[in-house]
Chains A and B, each alone.
Chain A
């Protein structure tokens, strides 16, 4: 058994695709119609054969309260690895991305948290 896909619940798939590719720099891997929605995944440009991120619609009625409760307390839904959190924060801020937590040295790891504009907070992390 292995992890091939993980998902993030987004409020609008087209908006999510734009943010995750144009701002974060992921590349689109799969885009197929799936009922009312799309089977829409992106991958890291640095590892296009690696784990896919499914941009999954958040239409279930429980998703909204769940997501907003996490956001209110600043809790990220998931985490992406970068080489240099400080540099990535500067780059993303330059693209207008809003952070709820600036780059922070927590000892073994440096982290930051940003708003993905689709209803989630995402943590950036670099192990030292």
Chain B
């Protein structure tokens, strides 16, 4: 039984990976900023609704959290769930045996 279907689904899409890249570049973005970056920097013509749905998938997987600040809503990246990947398939070369 796969423990992380939401996680693998979330990172299995190129647009969602670019959203994570852009949130890594600067954490805490409005929907407008994310859409602007995808359009202007990556030439992605996705609609605002489509980006909202991508963000919902990322949020479902725990990779994005939203924070309301007054009248504004910001999206934050959380790479914590990715730890389960390297725990499941450890990367030995990063910690070589003495």
Contact = CB atoms under 8 A, between A and B. Distances in A.
A106 B37 contact: yes
A100 B30 contact: yes
Contacts of B40: 106-109
Interface in B18-32: 26, 29-32
A71 interface: yes
Chain B, interface residues (CB within 8 Å), range = 10 to 19
Nearest to A75: B32
B73 A72 contact: yes
Contacts, number: 49
B5 to A, nearest CB: 29
Nearest to B36: A106
A108 B41 CA distance: 9
B71 A73 contact: no
Contacts of A104: 26, 33, 36-37
Interface string A87-128: 000000000000011101011110101000000010000000
B71 A72 contact: yes
A74 B33 contact: yes
Given A101-B32, A102-B26, A113-B32, A72 B37 contact: no
Interface in A26-75: 68, 71-75
B37 A73 contact: no
Interface of B: 26, 29-33, 36-37, 40-41, 48, 71-74
9 contacts: A73-B30, A73-B32, A74-B33, A100-B32, A101-B30, A101-B33, A104-B26, A104-B36, A106-B36
Given A68-B71, A74-B73, A113-B30, 12 more contacts: A72-B71, A73-B32, A74-B29, A74-B72, A75-B31, A100-B30, A100-B33, A104-B36, A106-B40, A107-B41, A109-B40, A121-B32
Interface of A: 68, 71-76, 100-102, 104, 106-109, 111, 113, 121
